[in-house]
Structure 1
Amino acid sequence: MTAVAAVTDHRDHTDPPEDDGRSRERGRQDGRNQQDRLDRRENRQDRQDRQDRQDRQDRESGEHARVEDERADAGQRGDTVAHARVRDGAGRVGGQGRGEDARGPVHGATARAEDGSGPAGAFGGGSGAAAPQGAWDDGLIARRVAEEADGRPGGAAAGADHRPPAVVPLAYDGPLRSRLEALRELVGLSRARLDGATLAEAGRVLDEAASRRRLSGQHTVVAIAGATGSGKSQLFNALAGVAISETGVRRPTTAAPIACSWSDGAAGLIDRLGIPGRLRRRPLQSGGAEDPLRGLVLVDLPDHDSAAVQHREQVDRVLALVDAVIWVVDPEKYADAVLHERYLRPMARHSEVTFVVLNQIDRLPGDAAHQVLDDLRRLLDEDGVALGEYGEPGATVLAVSAATGEGVGELRETLGHFVAERGAAARRVAADLDAAAARLWPVYVTGRRTGLSERAREEFAARLADAVGATAAGDTAERAWLRNANRACGTPWLRLWRWYRDRGEPPTDRLVVRTPDDEEATARQRVEQAVRTVAERASAGLPDPWAQAVREAAVRGSQGLPEALDEMTLRAAAPPGRPPRPGWWPLAVLAQASMTLLQVVGGLWLLGQVLGTAAPNLGVPVLLMAMGIVGGPVVEWACRLAARGPARRYGQEAERRLREAAAGCGRARVLDPVAAELLRYREVREQYARVTGVGVPAG
């Protein structure tokens, strides 16, 4: 106005009196032109200041996130020196960022702040008063407006303590930590048996749980999601108290997530969501009492049914990272199949961190709002979403009108209690664990009894014994022992006859351990059949991946099993040569020799009588010969009866050795690998039971 006055005075002294009216008009026009030039210069300066401030905020947000991570690590270690170092670094970062803001012109910004056209006026509800202490300020210009309103000099802010508050990391309770540790062990034990796609969701849950635990536990991240035209951005603005998110008839209106934090220290959480600094806001807060939503980080998401694919991708990405979700539906689309089938039904286990808000109830006449709300509850119940009614844990269902403010206060109060509990993040992680465990149920539990029974083991050993001919080998050993007993205890004349009969046959005092080609092929088929049978019995009732692992272990063990059985049979067979003789054999041989001697003496005596060299006496030699002739077969028959028991035991011992050898070979090559797979399955099933927090059917 000084320039205008100067121009007017100059015109008054130089122009003729008759042009006084035109001179004054030209003076006013020149004054307006100069004022416009000043305004344009100030506008350019404002834009430059806002751009510089935005770049500085982007740099500081990354630095603050790093400082907060270091602070969280230092807090967990209990290192006080590290705490001090982090605080000093944070103070330097905050001081530099705000010290640079203390320079620059503010005349145009001050004028716009006074008439409510600048940022301070917009976020202050249009009043000319400066933003109260603790309210959100839009960088340099708005801060200087607040300083001038408070009567402080422009450089006072540079000396203030702008260090970011200490971030307290999230702490999980004992049961949740135990479940996470069990899931980590479960994934480790299952990597060799399950494919990566099956374990991908479990791995994501572990990563996100560890990432969330390192960040603030004093903040709750809540996303507002909804379909096109549901009014979620309008509800977002109503909760924040200012027009942060753009609303309008153009669809889609929200193109990128916008974050609004009610308190400091949430930079790391917002960085985790991938929201840049230019899309981070602060709400209108009361400078008096403590804000009931302190600790809330509210995120406005794009439309989940947007025609733009990148919008839907952003919705899915952010929904997997937030602590809770507010689903905003309207009377027209509350039963939309996309919402229920793609989001609400799969996230039914997350009911405790879910809000379903029926918006735009002002458009429903009479009791129609209650009817629509009841139908919405019915649909949620069909989706499996537990409703938090009558004190039961579950989803919160409310009816609001963001346009008129009806129900917004109740939603704000409910959100305040929800945020004050500081338990949403842990409940979200627990719900993610439940969902991951439910997806893994078919690969760990079938509800049937599993394992390898003792009867199956015995039948497998019996099949292998039959394949190596253990029974036949025992019978052969028994016959060989009897034959040797007969040879040792039989009469010489009978032994001579048997020698003549068996002269052209192979020796029978050795075990035949090698079978012909056709019998060897038959034995190999028996071994393969035994392996297939035991593998099927061991894998019965197991989930498909573990059943396949058991069968593969059995097949690997069966390779080379027939050859190993042959080698074991050779080592387990009776040693070559005659079987061992019992202690009574010498007595039997002596008795048989005595009978033979009687026959010889009697015969020679009779011969001497015939030749006249001996005195005639038929009775004695005939009696001796009769005793020898009858006594020899009697001794042989008695020895045969006595040899049956030892021969049977000898054959059974030979069969037992072969059976044990075959069973040992089969156990080492087939049963032990199968048992190891079954033991591994039992371990993962126990870990899975820890993950679910409940028992699983015993096997």
Structure 2
Amino acid sequence: MTAVTALTDRTDDRWDDGFIARSRPRPVDAGEEDAAEAGDEGDEALVRAVSGAGSDGGKSTAPPLSPEAQALRQRLDALRQLVGLSRTRLDGKTLAEAGRVLDEAAARRGLSPQHTVVAIAGATGSGKSTLFNSLAGVQISETGLRRPTTAAPIACSWSDGAAGLLDRLEIPGRLRRRPRETSEAETLRGMVLVDLPDLDSAVGAHRDHVDRVLALVDAVVWVVDPEKYADAVLHERYLRPLAGHAEVTFVVLNQVDRLPGEAADLVLDDLRRLLDEDGIALGEHGEPGATVLGLSALTGDGVGELRELLGQFTQEKGAATRRISADVDRAAVRLRPLYVADGHAGPEIGETARAEFEDRLAEAVGACAAGLAAERAWRRNAGKACGTPWLRLWRWYENRRAPRTLAGLAALAAIGGRGQAVPQAPVEEEVTARQRVEQAVRVVADEAVAGLPEPWAQAVRETAVRGAYGLPEALDEIAVTLGAAVAVPNAKPPRPAWWPAAVLTQAAMTLLQIFGGLWLVGQIVGVLEPKLMPPVLLMVAGIIGGPLVEWACSIAARGPARRYGQDAERKLRQAAAGCGRARVLEPVAAELLRYREVREQYATVAAGGSRLSTTRQ
């Protein structure tokens, strides 16, 4: 495998997920099959060249990929996974550029890596066709004063096996040429040179040819002249958008023979300044970047230097990898607003937001009120068990009267005085609880999406809203099933171990009262010896001791009652929190986890600045 063919495995891996329309299939003819076979043989040779390994009769294993090819392969894999994870969150137009890059990378991988496709582009009258003919050593592209001169792309290949590449560029056979066989031609062996129509042509079809071919070639030679080197169309429509492709860019100032003295150097300096303003890195002092030089295609001055640079560039056989890497860089820049915002690298629902969400749900189900009701029920039962018999008898009488009183009040409420139904309070409470639940969902969603790019923030909000459907009803069911057990007055909370002793003590106080009373009655009727003080003391002890025992039991019951109420509140709160986690928090957390995954994949895709670049010597 080579720096180009190592992008993916040799199997057909055209990116196709059924979501974005792909490029139309192209029939394969016998000539292309032969070219593909030749390309496969070239792959093996190129692998040996890159790795420095010699031939051992085909027994050795494939050499490792170059660092640049490995980095590009990782980035393409990450881009493919990025699109796969995002296709249900983003629209097809947004992902179209990434899909095109994947398609073109797969298409270029399947073609000959031994060839480097270089396009010559320029404005009307810049002399690009003359330069094309000068490099080819033969009159191939028509030149003249008639504008536009070049109507369709014309290709010149310095070696065989480039049929597939030219088919991909849709250059017909009648427009494919061979250069003159000279010693200078050997320098450019492996290069496919394409002469494009004028980029500023008045004919729309010519500009379409330029745009289509520029998106497919491995490198571009931009030809400018002293009069139009600062043309806005060239810089704004082509050079500036392709600033990231500096390593596969040559900018040639043609017709320097028309500039007197040092004027050529001044124009070249100004051209470099414009390129720098366009964001194009210049390959000076051994650094990777665009190559800028001046020449005259008419006189041949400087053409030899360009031929040597192109020959060395072709022999490196890394142009396709650099071009695809630059395409990935540009796709990453365009996708950045969709995956990066406010430096938010690790989104998650914080503990504070979770706690506030659970507090609101607990408030919606009335967990605090249910806990207080449970505490009151515990204390009420303690009072029943430990109270004086006379007080318990009175409470029994009150409970007997309560149902009739409540029934009469309910009847009056139903009549409403005018035969109309009176609005019931539970309806208002239900609406309020629903509003609390909706507010809790909105707040936790806003906390979760803080700092997320808008598409992913919208996805998180939609997930939270979907989870909120049916949540109020589920909380109502929890409140009914769990809250009823502690809110019903007749509920029987568990009794502590000291209750039997308190009950026996209270019974003893009652017996003292009864015994003292009987003793006193016996003295009054003359059955017993008159002795007033002992029975009175017994009755007073029973009368005072009973309330004292009840008071002591009420004091002792505060702690257990409070713990019982807190336990009831905690159970209801936990049940409500569990329902909220299952319906809202967990789906939102899963969506945030997906975003973290795509953010990691995007970080790999956008790692163009750290990739190794092959510097042209």
Q: Following TM superposition, by how much is the alpha carbon of 1:496 offset from its aligned partner in structure 2, in angstroms?
A: 2.5
1:394 paired residue among 289, 294, 297 = 289
Residue by residue, what CA displacement relative to the aligned partner does 1:8-57 show, whole Å, maximum 9, x if unpaired? xxxxxxxxxxxxxxxxxxxxxxxxxxxxxxxxxxxxxxxxxxxxxxxxxx
Rg larger in 1 or in 2? 1
Residue by residue, what CA displacement relative to the aligned partner does 1:319-342 show, whole Å, maximum 9, x if unpaired? 000000000001111111111111
SS in 1 for 2:188: coil
What is aligned with 1:64? Answer: 31
Answer yes or no: is the 8 Å Cα contact 1:256–1:302 preserved in 2: yes
Task: Give the letter for the 2:386 counterpart.
Answer: C
Residue by residue, what CA displacement relative to the aligned partner does 1:191-210 show, whole Å, maximum 9, x if unpaired? 00011111111111111111
Counterparts in 2 of 1:282 and 1:438: CA distance versus 1, 3 Å: same
What is aligned with 2:205? Answer: 310
Answer yes or no: is the 8 Å Cα contact 1:170–1:215 preserved in 2: no
Q: Does 1:684 align with 2:598?
A: yes
1:406 paired residue among 301, 306, 329 = 301
Q: Following TM superposition, by how much is the alpha carbon of 1:673 offset from its aligned partner in structure 2, in angstroms?
A: 1.0
Q: Following TM superposition, by how much is the alpha carbon of 1:695 offset from its aligned partner in structure 2, in angstroms?
A: 9.9
Counterparts in 2 of 1:285 and 1:447: CA distance versus 1, 3 Å: farther
Counterparts in 2 of 1:624 and 1:75: CA distance versus 1, 3 Å: farther
Q: Does 1:599 align with 2:510?
A: no
Q: Does 1:535 align with 2:445?
A: yes
Answer yes or no: is the 8 Å Cα contact 1:171–1:213 preserved in 2: no
What is aligned with 1:469? Answer: 366
Q: Following TM superposition, by how much is the alpha carbon of 1:366 offset from its aligned partner in structure 2, in angstroms?
A: 1.5
What is aligned with 2:275? Answer: 380
Q: Following TM superposition, by how much is the alpha carbon of 1:416 offset from its aligned partner in structure 2, in angstroms?
A: 1.1
Counterparts in 2 of 1:695 and 1:597: CA distance versus 1, 3 Å: farther
Task: Give the letter for the 2:359 counterpart.
Answer: A
Answer yes or no: is the 8 Å Cα contact 2:42–2:113 preserved in 1: no
Counterparts in 2 of 1:265 and 1:73: CA distance versus 1, 3 Å: closer
Cα distance between partner residues in 2 of 1:73 and 1:663 = 61
Cα distance between partner residues in 1 of 2:219 and 2:609 = 28
Answer yes or no: is the 8 Å Cα contact 2:153–2:175 preserved in 1: yes
Cα distance between partner residues in 2 of 1:563 and 1:77 = 67
2:260 paired residue among 365, 385, 400 = 365
Q: Following TM superposition, by how much is the alpha carbon of 1:617 offset from its aligned partner in structure 2, in angstroms?
A: 1.6
What are the equivalent positions in structure 2 for 1:143-542 lying under 5 Å apart? 173-286=69-182, 291-449=186-344, 450-505=347-402, 516-542=426-452
SS in 2 for 1:616: coil
Cα distance between partner residues in 1 of 2:28 and 2:297 = 31
Answer yes or no: is the 8 Å Cα contact 1:356–1:398 preserved in 2: yes
Q: Following TM superposition, by how much is the alpha carbon of 1:362 offset from its aligned partner in structure 2, in angstroms?
A: 1.2
Q: Following TM superposition, by how much is the alpha carbon of 1:284 offset from its aligned partner in structure 2, in angstroms?
A: 0.8
Q: Following TM superposition, by how much is the alpha carbon of 1:233 offset from its aligned partner in structure 2, in angstroms?
A: 0.3
Cα distance between partner residues in 2 of 1:62 and 1:401 = 41
Cα distance between partner residues in 2 of 1:571 and 1:458 = 23
- Percent of residue pairs bearing the same amino acid type: 71
What is aligned with 1:13? Answer: none
Answer yes or no: is the 8 Å Cα contact 1:170–1:216 preserved in 2: no
What are the equivalent positions in structure 2 for 1:649-664 lying under 5 Å apart? 649-664=563-578
- Name the Cα RMSD after superposition: 2.3
What is aligned with 1:552? Answer: 462
Task: Give the letter for the 1:689 counterpart.
Answer: A
Answer yes or no: is the 8 Å Cα contact 1:355–1:397 preserved in 2: yes
Q: Following TM superposition, by how much is the alpha carbon of 1:315 offset from its aligned partner in structure 2, in angstroms?
A: 0.5
Relative contact order: is structure 1 or structure 2 higher (C-alpha 8 Å, sep ≥ 6)?
2
Cα distance between partner residues in 2 of 1:63 and 1:447 = 54
SS in 2 for 1:326: strand
Cα distance between partner residues in 2 of 1:75 and 1:285 = 22
Counterparts in 2 of 1:74 and 1:661: CA distance versus 1, 3 Å: farther
Using the size of structure 1 for normalisation, the TM-score is 0.75
Counterparts in 2 of 1:62 and 1:234: CA distance versus 1, 3 Å: farther
Residue by residue, what CA displacement relative to the aligned partner does 1:652-676 show, whole Å, maximum 9, x if unpaired? 0110011111111111111111111
Answer yes or no: is the 8 Å Cα contact 1:361–1:401 preserved in 2: yes
Task: Give the letter for the 2:128 counterpart.
Answer: K
Please list every run of 5 or more consecutive structure 1 residues that lacks an aligned counterpart in the other structure: 1-59, 79-168, 508-513
What is aligned with 2:3? Answer: none
SS in 1 for 2:119: strand
Q: Following TM superposition, by how much is the alpha carbon of 1:504 offset from its aligned partner in structure 2, in angstroms?
A: 4.1
Cα distance between partner residues in 2 of 1:359 and 1:213 = 34
Please list every run of 5 or more consecutive structure 2 residues that lacks an aligned counterpart in the other structure: 1-26, 46-64, 405-423, 611-617
Task: Give the letter for the 2:163 counterpart.
Answer: A
Q: Does 1:640 align with 2:535?
A: no
Cα distance between partner residues in 2 of 1:77 and 1:583 = 88
SS in 2 for 1:221: strand
Cα distance between partner residues in 2 of 1:596 and 1:603 = 11
Tell me the matched-pair count.
Answer: 540
Answer yes or no: is the 8 Å Cα contact 1:228–1:251 preserved in 2: yes
Q: Following TM superposition, by how much is the alpha carbon of 1:289 offset from its aligned partner in structure 2, in angstroms?
A: 7.9
Using the size of structure 2 for normalisation, the TM-score is 0.84
Cα distance between partner residues in 1 of 2:327 and 2:521 = 112
SS in 1 for 2:220: strand
Counterparts in 2 of 1:208 and 1:259: CA distance versus 1, 3 Å: same
Residue by residue, what CA displacement relative to the aligned partner does 1:519-555 show, whole Å, maximum 9, x if unpaired? 1111111111111111111111100110000000011
Cα distance between partner residues in 2 of 1:67 and 1:232 = 32
Q: Following TM superposition, by how much is the alpha carbon of 1:582 offset from its aligned partner in structure 2, in angstroms?
A: 1.3
Q: Following TM superposition, by how much is the alpha carbon of 1:387 offset from its aligned partner in structure 2, in angstroms?
A: 0.3
